[in-house]
Structure 1
Amino acid sequence: MTTERELREKLRKITALFEGATTMGERSAAAAAIDRVRKALAAMVQTEPAIEMQFTLADQWHRRLFAALCRRYGLHPYRYKRQRHTTVMVRVPRSFSDKTLWPEYLELTRALDEYLNEATERIIREEVYRDARDAPERAG
C-alpha cells in the first residue's frame, strides 16, 4: 500500500526526471530545474511556433493535474465558452507537448491513480463493506 509520503516522493522523482535534475536536492535545486525547463520552452517558442492544442481529460482530478503542470511551466490552460468541461486548451510548441508536458502528465497520472485507487478500495473495505470488487458480468 502506498502512503501519502511515498506518493509525494514518487511525484518528486517523476518531476525531477522530466526536468533533467540528477539529484533531488533542495528547493533551490528544484526551482532551478523548473527554470531550466521554462528557458528551454522559451527557446523552443523562438524556433517552433506555439500552436493551440486541445486535450480531453476525463475528470476533474486529471484536469486539475494537467492545468497545474501547464502552469508550472508558465503555460496558460483555458477553454472556450461552450466547450465541454473535459476540454483543456493550451498554446505550446508541439515538441514540448510531445517530449515533456504529455509524458510527464501521464507518469504523474499513473502515480496518482494508483494511490487514489488503493486509498478508495481501503476506505470502502473498512467503512462500507469488505467486498469492494466490481460487479460481475452476466449473459443476456
Structure 2
Amino acid sequence: MDEESLRRKLAAIETLFAGASTLGEREAAEAARERILARLKAANEAQPAVEYQFSLADEWQRRLFVALLRRYRLEPYRYRGQRRTTVMVRVPERFVKETLWPQYQQLAATLRGWLDEVADRVIREVLQAEGGGLEEKVASPRLGPGGSGPATPAD
C-alpha cells in the first residue's frame, strides 16, 4: 500500500464512523468531520464530559490519538509525572464508546499494518534478510555464560 492509498483508507474510516454513504475526496472527509462534531455536541448536551485517561502503547499511537482528539476540537493533556504515552481528555462517555475509541482502533490498526509493511520492506532491501518472527524454544536451565543468567552484550 502506498502513502496515497493509506490516506484514502484513513479518510474512509472517518467517513464510516460519520455514517456517510458515499466516499468523495476532501468534501466527504470534511462533511464526515462535521457530522462527528455534531454528534459530539449532541453527546455533550445529553451528558456531561468526564475525564478519561488513555494509556497508549507507544509514541506513534499517542500522536495518532492526539491528532484525532484535536481534529474533533477536544483538548488532550497529561498531568506532570504521567508517562509520555498517557493522554487525558474530558469527553462524554457515549462519544468515547460509540465513535472516538472504535475509530481510533481502526485508524491505529490500518496505520500499524502500513508501518509494518514499510519496515519489512526496508529491512529486506537494506539488510537483504527477513526480519520476521523467531523460533520459540524450550528454555534450558543454563541461559547465559556460566549459567548465571541471560547473556547480555558487553558494554
TM-score with structure 2 setting the length: 0.84
SS of the residue corresponding to residue 58 of structure 1 reads coil
Contact map agreement 2:14 2:32 (CA 8 A) in 1? no
1:102 corresponds to which residue?
101
1:86 corresponds to which residue?
85
1:45 corresponds to which residue?
44
How far off is 1:115 after superposition? 0.5
1:9 corresponds to which residue?
8
1:8–1:113 CA distance, 2 compared to 1 (3 A): same
Percent identity between matched residues is 50
Q: One-letter code of the match for 1:85?
A: R
1:67 corresponds to which residue?
66
Trace 1:11-26 onto structure 2 (pairs within 5 A). Answer: 11-26=10-25
Residues in 2 aligned to 1:29 and 1:129: alpha-carbon distance in whole angstroms: 42
2:148 corresponds to which residue?
none
How far off is 1:43 after superposition? 1.7
Contact map agreement 2:49 2:90 (CA 8 A) in 1? yes
Q: Which runs of at least 4 in structure 1 moved beyond 3 Å after TM superposition?
A: none
Query: What residue ranges of structure 2 are gaps of 5+ in the alignment?
Result: 140-155
Query: What residue ranges of structure 1 are gaps of 5+ in the alignment?
Result: none
How far off is 1:26 after superposition? 4.2
1:122 corresponds to which residue?
121
How far off is 1:134 after superposition? 2.8
How far off is 1:66 after superposition? 0.3
Q: One-letter code of the match for 2:138?
A: A
Q: One-letter code of the match for 1:41?
A: L
How many residues of Structure 1 are paired with residues of Structure 2 in the alignment?
139
After alignment, is 36-45 or 26-35 more displaced? 26-35
SS of the residue corresponding to residue 129 of structure 2 reads coil
1:32 aligns with 2:31: yes
Larger Rg: 2
Residues in 2 aligned to 1:54 and 1:27: alpha-carbon distance in whole angstroms: 32
SS of the residue corresponding to residue 36 of structure 1 reads helix
TM-score with structure 1 setting the length: 0.92
1:133–1:25 CA distance, 2 compared to 1 (3 A): closer
1:129–1:73 CA distance, 2 compared to 1 (3 A): same
SS of the residue corresponding to residue 88 of structure 2 reads strand
Q: CA RMSD in A?
A: 1.3
